[in-house]
Structure 1
Amino acid sequence: MSEREPIAVVGLDCRFPGARDADEYWALLMDGRDGTGRVPEQRWDAERYHAADPSGPDSAHTARQPGRSNTVRGGFLHDADAFDPAFFGIAPREAAAMDPQQRLLLQCSWRAVEDAATAPQDLAGTATGVFVGVMANEWAHLALKDYDEITARHGSGNGYFMGANRVSYHLDLKGPSLAVDTACSSSLVAVHLAMNSLRWGECDHALVAGTNLIMTPVINIFYTQAGLSAPDGRCKSFSASADGIGRAEGVAVLVLRRLSDALADRQPVYAVLKETGSNQDGRSNGITAPNRWAQEQLIGSVWQRAGITADDISFVEAHGTGTLLGDFIEAQALGRLTSGRSGGSVALGSVKSNFGHAEGAAGIAGLVKTVLALHHRTVPPSRFAHDENQKLDLPGQRLSLLKSPLRLPSGTVHAAVSSFGMGGSNAHAVLASAPRTVHRTQPGAPGVFTVSARGAERLRANLLAQADALSRRPGDQLAQLCWTSNRVKSRLPQRVAVAATDLPALVAGLREAARRSDDPARPGPGRRPAPSVAFAFTGQGAQHPGMAAAWYRSCPAYARHLDALDELLAPHTGRSVRDLLLEGDADVHRPRLAQPALFAIGHAMAATLAEAGIRPSYVLGHSIGEFAAACVAGALDPADAARLVARRGELMETLPEDGGMLAVSLDAAEVEPLLAGRRRLGLAAVNGPGRTVVAGDRGELAALADRLTERKVAVRPLAVSHAFHSPLMLPVVEEFRRACADIPVRRPDLPFFSTVHGRELTGEEFLDADYWARQITAPVRFAEAARGLFATGVTHVVEIGPAAVLTGLLARLRPADGSPVSLHAAHPGEHAPGHRPQQLFGELWCAGLTPDWDLLYADSDRLPRRLPPYLFDASFRAWRSGGGPDLPEPSASPAPRSADTTAPPPADGGQSSAGEAPDPLAALAHRLVCRIGGHDPASVHDDSRLHEDLGFDSIQAVELKTRIERELPLLGTLPVEELLESMRTVGDLVRYLRDRALADATPTLTLTPEGTGR
């Protein structure tokens, strides 16, 4: 890698006064709006610390009274205390003790990574760096001033260092992680450090951030006393009315990569950082005063290393504090470099004029503005351009404030950003527009869009956000947007997948899913068992012209597998089975083609799912479907199976077409006596209660049908060419046995539920020539085999075949508890939707499986596109009350007075079923966990994971140990290592306490009203 390799900005997120995200930020800038306002009541009593001049609160002549500020305005974030602690696995009491800057950084970092079309989980364990510019930590001043109230949480909740380390910890990032404080230039210096880290190979991704929150009037008072504060709380950059600094808040995160890596991954790029630099003023006319020569030297050196001159710069995002001295020095330093420019003037501006000086986040605020300007190829106007300070002689410096937006020319455009620290640490950056890339698309290609969230309410909000955004996207991006959602939006527990072939249908599907998310019957967020899957392969009778053609046209991986099977079958069938299917040829009903076609479809579907990582734990096949099942189970090679199914169908087609099949609405036990003496009839299939099939001679079938009709028994002739699984098949059995004689005999690698035996094959049974010969005439005992499959506890059965035939049968056979769930690979009928593979992948993903989505998309559609980032829950609030931060104390569940400790632990904090005694240990554990973490008792259950769901770390584990020992002294001292091993879930903790009580031979445990064991 080159020491001068450009660095790409691939993702970003921000919150600034008047703007909740990057889109609102851009709108604020383009509209030239003012984001400032009065100090929120939540912060401090602004009037109490305000010293106003009689001429008005905004007067520039406000007296500098000690301990007073001259302004009641500034740029403040709305709902800066809102946070989603559960999303990050942080206990509410810990979140309440955290500096809100850390909370903002966590959420902003997650959203920025998603904006880079990357799943944050994909960065876990990587050497991704985190560089955070920050210069204020007023929360710590508020939280730590009362020594008696300090807890272990306050140590990890405060401190500059924790801003970066929180992000690294919760996203599991292993690269450099540091906070940078160079005062106002902090975040741009952090960008400089991140660029160097990327260029040196310390990290491949870097999250660079800036943050600032105004918690107290301290800095306002300081600025007032130093003569730096604007009475109206506004920075009027380069304006004749400039009279000082207006303070502001903000947070922003950029995701950086080496440009070559981003382009190799076809990642969207906002803009390119060509060069950065940092220096110090040294000894000037005061430690807080800027140094013109240092600024000039820095800017010139960065431009030189970037390989540009003033002629190449289109605009400069200046520091622009709006102080007379600061603006003058900056204009002079910059003008020394631009005054000799050969073209027109360089556009000059400062985002501080829109909402104020964001201090630790000021540099990145200007950088985000510049990145967006290059991305949109438009420079926003300057708010005070109409009142330009003539004494600065900006025209003479070839600099100009924009009164209206400036459209940038085509081609590569350069811009620069400056940020100068109060103590003299300066930073400068040169950027360029992103290189133009062209990607072809496949209009009409289907996709499946995935949305996941932490909870049901968040799922609804995120579904609507995605629908609104997609409604404004080009239609030819459908597959690319879907593929991006599969990469980025598919890792959280609450899930919705919507398959579609066009964007309007997708948008409608997302909105409908949002509406359904309010359905009270929708499953809750409880812990689900790990999914296990069985494949059930459809038999003959499911075939139809054009079957599974939609799979071939919409799933490249399936097309590849079907092509391979077509090559295996062609020497035995004499024609292309693939072409037969795609052309919708009615010959598909002939046994010599139907059976190979069903095998090809089933095997190709199963191979596609297996390639996608969806592998079955069990297999079951209905008649001809057993051949594909045997291949999947490893008992039969596809080449051998192709030869056998082709020969099987060919032999059966040679038989006279004098047979038929009859569906009878009776149980098999009722049908078998009716077949006595009818040598040309046989029991063909047992598909469930009242679902029996008889096959044989058409005349004898007609007589049987008449007899059953007289008894008011429903019968239905099946549209088949032959009497399969009947005595009429006997003439071909021996010939087929000889065809099977040379196949290798292997035991299945997976449990194989045989529909010949009606159960799982034992270790002494093989799928050999005798088995396949017997299968031709033996009844298909599907119902018995399915019940055996259900007994394994399988959670999902996927029907593999061209139509949903077995799915309905399975639904009638499954136990009363509704498990397992049945899914099918294809819809019946010739007019199947063109996106059934996408639907199936989505259904499997919603079931908790993780398919390889790439298999659904052509390479040209595996192109990252930006999607709206995650919308967090904003209901949690923690700010300061009086002098310090609010730490909510949840109500505790009352402990029962006495109970037998040997009773099994019910869920939900010891609440028992009617007539059962409450469990005191479960209630006690539930109460302590809620109190220590600050959780709502109603949200904590036996299967709540203490670490992942409830945010318990080592500090809280020790606190829990201490509380248990105090309330249950009869248990003695709990070894820390034992307790930690037993703290996976609340239920595990209860079981550990019970085992401990039994080991100590404690016969009963009585709890006093205070919860103390006696």
Structure 2
Amino acid sequence: MPENSQSPRPSGPLIAITGIGCRLPGGVDSPTALWDAMVRGESLLSPVRGERWEQMSSQLHPEQRPEQPWTIGVIDDIEAFDHQAFSIPAHEAAQLDPQQRMVLEVVVEALNDAGLPPSSLAGSRTGVWTGSACFDQGLMTMQPGRLQRMTTMAGAAMAMLANRVSYHLNLRGPSMNVDTACSASGTALHLARQSLLLGEVDTAIVIGVNLMQFSGITAGFVDGGVIATDGMCRPFDEDGKGYVRAEATAALVLRRLDAAQESRDRVYALVRGSAANCDGYSPAGLYAPNPSVHLELLKQAYDSAGMDPAHVDYVQCHGTGTKAGDSSEGRALARVLAPGREGPLVIGSVKSLIGHTEGASGVVGVIAAALSLYHATIPPTACHETIRSTLKRLPLRVPTAPEPWPQTGRPRTAGVSAFGLGGSNVHIVLEQAPEPVAEDADDTAARPRLIPVSALSEPRLRDLAAAWAPVLADSTDLGRAASTAQHRRDHHPVRAAVVAESPQQAAAALTALGEGRSHPALVGPAGAPSQPGRLVWMFAGQGSQHADMARACHAELPVFREALEEARAALAAHLGRQPWRPGEPIPDFETAQHAIWLTQVAQAATWRHWGYVPDAVIGHSLGEVAAAHAAGALSLDDAARVVAARSALLAELEPVGGLLVTDLTAERAEEVIAAHGRVGTLVAAAYNAPDTTVLSGPEEPLEELRAALDAQGVFTRRVPNDVPAHSPSVAPLTARLAAALDGIAPRGSDVVFHSTAEAAVVDGAALDAAYWARQLRSPVRFTDALAQAVDDGATVLELGGRSTLGRGATATLAERGTDAAVVSAGDADRGDHAALLDQLAALHTRGHSPARWPEPVRSPVRLPVRWDHGQLSDTAAAAPTLAEALTVSEPDPATVLEALVHLVADTLGITPEEVDVDRSPIDLGLSSVAMIGLRDLFHEAHPALSTFGVRLLFDPTVTLTQLSEAILDHCHGVPVG
């Protein structure tokens, strides 16, 4: 981007706008929706209708009640709030200022737009600045004679607009509400920018909010003559008759530019400078602008930005539509910004679209200007036809249709003004963001992508998946969507994931999730435990190979490829030749052994790269070698030496015989061998499951037995590239293997090695040459070893080219009554990269989240945020139930207890089924504030409970059952003990 030598950048870091959230009139609920409305240029204002108008008009003095509803820019439902998402009890949420409620949601939306998971900011130096001049909640609730509670006061306090955000997100930076009237949120941004420049915070959240509940304020403005009588907001227009009040909640996320670029954030615009001042004594009165002070403000702002005022391209003005305000603002702009300019200064105001959002208008104006810079388009000003006569001779122009941003050879620039009733003013200077860093070519390659999706409950998850599906369907870059879902979203307890190779496949899987259906690309949903259990790595043996094994992972995953090539080099050193490489055929037993081991070593390295460390390992036959290396008991060179010697010796037996998989139990297998007179010739070589036994021995008797079993309807299958492993045929090889491995140096390890040769835990240091010689001949006692390795809550991860142990492991654990999950390796036709991501998805849904996600961090995609907007009552939903239960002549103790359980569940944000009635409220986790709230609900439920204190609530020995009994006694005249 070209730099202008006449406009040097200011000293200090540049501040980037990286996230936007908004709720505005006309159903505008995102930066995309706002920009679409701005480009259309059609007013979103209309007369207030329905219940909202009935509520407003009922508050008015009869003399001020209008014949027709006012035109006001209202947000559709200011009562809507997802209290469970913030763990706020319904009875507390019902008493909060709607501004507090909506601010919480919009901040989360802005953080998601910025690609900052809210949890990532916990404990951080993140500051919150809110700008609001709307104290309607206080006017309505803090009335003389009205019963007041702690929640009532906190719900109305303006300081809580910022502090509640800081509390719920656990933010440690400055937290304050700014009230400078209509410049409040602009001033808040100015203060936030200073804090970022000083290094006090690393991230700043700036909020503007204005929700109108008390109609008396509007009536006062109507009486003062500043409200447009025609219901139209016409900034700078000759027919402008005043402004239209409007509601808004808007939030910005600010970060220093260097940090934003390092994180590859989307940057809408830069905040290059800002200034704030006050009119002081204005000759025309307290409510009138002071023109000379406006001039000073503009000069200070552009000095702060290090910018020649003549270089600003567009100004998003305060522009309320009042004659005095428009005239004063226009003259000041012409005096300071017009000199030296080629052509008139282009000005406009988003208030023409949505009305005057008062305390929120500064942030709303900055959002409008930032979006204009981002899209390189100057938006029209709605309702504008003819510039005011007082401004006609000035070099000013108000566009009435979208215009491409003028090409000046300089970065695009815009100013934003906000003036407050009483004289507090602010002007903010924005500049075009630098071009984003180009994505690496590999980042956009076509390959399987993992898209995790999560929520607090399964219904919420389905709703979110349905909202994401159309976004993915329209996406041209699945990698960016996957990166956003992995890195830039919080991962909630109920989880699912999609592993797809195209946006269309991903959208179809998300649609299926939204509809409660399965899909080949969908993993889950499942509930992730807060503390996942032990992780056991399970390494498959012979038979897990296939023709395309490791091909895609080798081509697409650098860590996998590097680990496999390192293992190949180690194996080549002991073979004296180059071993198998992915993509090459697997024609024989020895090659198969090499391919299995190489694949498992590379998989293990990939899992470690993603942050997974096994608590224990278990291997099946050959799989024990990779397991020993993964545990740290064998070095890579020693493991390669074992594989080279072991596979070469066993390969000598390839013409001799092989392996036969059957669905026989261990006992039945022994009976079948004896019945056919093959004791000592055929043996049970491996016990893979309660109903799966692998037989081994010479070719002729093995085939005879297979034919006999087939005739009986017994399932049988020959293992490809097989030898008569773990049978008497192997005995002559054991001494030779021990000699070949003389000198290997196994070592102890913190990872537990469960031996399938001995069905016991074996210390890593004991995995010497003698062990591998015994292991060659010993049967694989997989079921016994697995039962010892896996306890309740554990997760078993299978490593191998394809799944050969997953079904058997699941059956074994189920028979033993072990509550554990098995994450099997994939099928050969799934593709090994996709199969590996399927396993990663399964681990994540079960609570084993990766420390490092597969996708690199890339610029964010707008993936929707969804809320559960149940209606809030004046009290908790269960309070009437408690009242009804207590006011009948003979209260039912079970009904009273049930109502109490619902109240406690609501307060804790859990389901009633999760409430243990044999525990006390304090033992269940209720805080002191929550206890007071619960007491208040008791008071509202029954008059007798107005004297019921919190003593029993705070007594850790009084269970909920006993508390309900005490409530019953108290309400019916029985003294509480």
1:661-704 per-residue CA deviation (whole Å, 9 max, x = no partner) reads 22344322233353576444332112223422221222332444
Amino acid at match of 2:394: Q
Distance apart, 1:307 and its partner CA: 2.8
Q: More deviation in 297-306 or 117-126?
A: 297-306
**Counterpart among 132, 147, 150 of residue 149 in structure 1:** 147
In structure 1, how many angstroms separate the alpha carbons of the residues matched to 2:353 and 2:754? 70
Aligned equivalents of 2:770, 2:934: Cα separation in 1: 65
Provide the residue aligned with 1:1000 in structure 2: none
Determine the C-alpha separation between the residues in 1 that align with 2:716 and 2:131: 78
Q: How far apart are residue 711 of structure 1 and its match?
A: 5.8
Cα distance in 1 for partners of 2:212, 2:824 equals: 57
Match 2:24 to one of 12, 16, 26: 16
**Which residue of structure 2 aligns with residue 337 of structure 1?**
336
1:354–1:990: structure 2 CA closer, same or farther, 3 Å change rule?
same
Give the conservation status (yes or no) of the 8 Å contact 1:44–1:217.
Answer: no
Which among 150, 173, 176 is matched to residue 175 of structure 1? 173
Partner of residue 413, structure 1: 412
Q: Aligned partners of 1:750 and 1:742: how far apart in 2?
A: 23
Structure 2 contact 919–959 (Cα < 8 Å) conserved: no
Q: Structure 1 pair 281/70, CA: closer, same or farther in 2 (3 Å)?
A: farther
- Equivalence for 1:459: 461
- How many Å separate the matches in 2 of 1:434 and 1:617? 47
Distance change in 2, residues 1:929/1:703 (3 Å): closer
SS, match of residue 24 in structure 1: helix
Q: CA deviation at 1:163?
A: 0.2
Match of 1:307 in 2: 306
Distance 2:724 2:667 in 1: 21
1:862 aligns with 2:857: yes
- Aligned partner of residue 814 in structure 2, secondary structure: coil
Residue equivalent to 1:929? 904
Q: How much has 1:949 moved relative to structure 2? A: 15
Aligned residue for 1:375? 374
Deviations 1:610-638 (CA, angstroms, capped at 9, x unpaired): 23222223321110111122222333222
Query: What secondary structure is seen at the aligned counterpart in 1 of 2:427?
Result: strand
Change (3 A) 1:550 1:242: same
Match of 1:55 in 2: none
- Residues 201 and 782 (structure 1), Cα distance of their counterparts in 2 relative to 1, 3 Å cut: same
The offset of 1:45, in angstroms, is: 4.7
Tell me whether 465-474 or 798-807 shows the greater mean CA deviation.
465-474
Equivalent-residue separation in structure 2 for 1:487 and 1:84 (angstroms): 24
- Given the alignment of the two structures, is residue 778 of structure 1 paired with residue 778 of structure 2, yes or no? yes
Which of residues 565, 568, 576 is equivalent to 1:574?
576
The change in CA–CA distance for 1:263 and 1:662 in structure 2 (over 3 A counts) is closer
Distance 1:710 1:93, change over 3 A: closer
Q: 2:240·2:323 contact (CA, 8 Å) conserved in 1? A: yes
Q: Aligned partners of 2:456, 2:145: CA distance in 1, in Å? A: 37
Contact 2:87 2:909 in 1 (8 A): no
Contact in 2 for aligned 1:187/1:363 (Cα 8 Å)? yes
Query: Counterpart in 1 of 2:843?
Result: 844
Aligned partner of residue 85 in structure 2, secondary structure: helix
1:718 corresponding residue in structure 2: 719
Counterpart of 2:509 in structure 1 is 509
- Cα distance in 1 for partners of 2:296, 2:201 equals 29
Report the Cα distance in structure 2 between the residues aligned to 1:329 and 1:708, rounded to whole angstroms: 99
Where do 1:235-384 residues align within 5 Å?
A: 235-285=233-283, 286-384=285-383
Q: Which residue of 2 aligns with 1:37?
A: 46
What's the counterpart of residue 483 of structure 1? 483
Instruction: Indicate the residue corresponding to 1:199 in structure 2.
Output: 197
Aligned residue for 1:449, secondary structure, equals strand
| CA distance 1:795–1:271, change in 2 (3 Å) | same
| Cα distance in structure 1, aligned partners of 2:831 and 2:821 | 22
Instruction: Quote the residue 2:14 is aligned against.
Output: 6
- Is the Cα–Cα contact under 8 Å of residues 71 and 230 in structure 1 kept in the other structure? no
1: CA distance between counterparts of 2:547 and 2:602? 17
The alpha-carbon distance between structure 1 residues 234 and 781, as it changes in their structure 2 partners (threshold 3 A), is same
SS in 2 for 1:288: coil
The aligned counterpart of 1:662 is 660
Alignment-mate amino acid for residue 467 of structure 1: A
Q: What's the CA shift for 1:596?
A: 3.0
Is the aligned partner of 1:473 residue 2:475? yes
Give distance in 1, aligned partners of 2:556 and 2:917. 40
1:621 alignment partner, one of 619, 622, 627 = 619
Q: Which residue of 2 aligns with 1:401?
A: 398
Given that residues 895 and 1007 in structure 1 are in contact (C-alpha distance below 8 angstroms), is that contact kept between their aligned partners in structure 2? no
* TM superposition shift of 1:921: 11
Structure-2 separation of matches of 1:781 and 1:515? 43
Residue 820 (structure 2) aligns with: 820
Indicate how the Cα distance of structure 1 residues 243 and 470 shifts in structure 2: closer, same or farther if over 3 A, else same. same
Distance 1:357 1:703, change over 3 A: closer
Aligned residues with identical type, % of pairs:
31
| Letter aligned with residue 455 of structure 2 | A
Q: 2-side partners of 1:517 and 1:875: how far apart?
A: 25
Q: Does structure 2 retain, via aligned residues, the 8 Å contact 1:271–1:431?
A: yes
- Secondary structure of residue in 2 paired with 1:426: strand
| TM-score of the two chains, using structure 1 as the length reference | 0.86
Deviation per CA, 1:703-752: give whole Å up to 9, x if none.
44455566665544433342111111112101212233423354453333
Alignment coverage as a number of residue pairs: 942
Answer yes or no: is the 8 Å Cα contact 2:922–2:953 preserved in 1: no
How far is 1:448 from its partner?
Answer: 0.8
Residues 127 and 244 (structure 1 numbering): CA distance in 2 closer, same or farther, change over 3 Å? same
Letter in 1 for 2:494: Q
Instruction: Rate the CA distance shift 1:961–1:155 in 2: closer, same or farther, 3 A.
Output: closer
Residue 137 of structure 1 and its aligned partner are, at CA, apart by 1.2
What is the Cα deviation at residue 834 of structure 1? 4.4
Residue type at the aligned position of 2:860: R
1:873 corresponds to which of 865, 868, 871: 868
- Quote the Cα distance in structure 1 between the aligned partners of 2:911 and 2:834: 44
Alignment counterpart, residue 954 of structure 1, candidates 928, 945, 949: 928
Alignment correspondent of 2:745: 744
In 2: Cα distance, 1:943 partner to 1:762 partner: 46
Distance 2:417 2:137 in 1: 28
Deviations 1:175-221 (CA, angstroms, capped at 9, x unpaired) = 11110000010010111001100000000110011000111122212
Q: Which moved more, 1:130-139 or 1:329-338?
A: 329-338
Distance 2:292 2:685 in 1: 96
Read off the aligned partner of 1:353 and give its amino acid letter: S
SS in 1 for 2:25: coil
Q: AA paired with 2:193?
A: M
Q: Tell me if structure 1 keeps the 8 A contact 2:379–2:402.
A: yes
Whether the aligned pair in 2 keeps the contact of 1:50 and 1:68 (CA below 8 Å) is no
Contact conserved, 1:156 with 1:162, CA < 8 A, in 2? yes
* Distance of aligned partners of 1:297 and 1:24 in 2 relative to their CA distance in 1, 3 Å threshold: same
SS in 1 for 2:313: strand
Instruction: Please say which of residues 594-603 and 237-246 is displaced more in the overlay.
Output: 594-603
- Secondary structure of the residue aligned to 1:363 is helix
Please name the residue that 1:187 is paired with. 185
Gaps of 5+ in 2: 1-8, 887-891
Question: Residues 937-993 of structure 1: CA distance to partner in whole angstroms, max 9, x if unpaired?
Answer: 7575449999999995431135558999999x99995695x84xx9xxxxxx959x8
Asked if structure 2 preserves the Cα contact closer than 8 Å seen for 1:245 and 1:322, the reply is yes
Q: How far apart are the structure 2 equivalents of 1:621 and 1:525?
A: 29
What SS does the corresponding residue of 1:76 show, helix, strand or coil? coil
- 1:359-758 equivalences under 5 Å are 359-393=358-392, 396-410=393-407, 412-440=411-439, 441=441, 442-474=444-476, 477-516=477-516, 530-577=532-579, 580-587=580-587, 589-591=588-590, 593-655=591-653, 657-673=655-671, 674-675=673-674, 678-705=679-706, 708=709, 713-758=714-759
Call closer, same or farther: CA 1:391–1:568 in 2, change over 3 Å.
same
Which amino acid letter does the alignment assign opposite residue 873 of structure 1? D
Cα 1:524–1:922 change in 2 (3 A) is: farther
Instruction: Rate the CA distance shift 1:313–1:69 in 2: closer, same or farther, 3 A.
Output: farther
Contact 1:116–1:866 (CA under 8 A) maintained in structure 2:
no
Displacement after TM superposition at 1:409 (Å)? 3.5
Specify the alignment match of 1:84 in structure 2. Answer: 82
Task: Tell me how far apart the structure 2 counterparts of residues 46 and 975 of structure 1 sit (CA, whole Å).
Answer: 40
Q: Quick check: 761-770 or 663-672, which moved more?
A: 761-770
What's 1:25 paired with? Answer: 34
**Which amino acid in the other structure matches residue 784 of structure 1?**
D
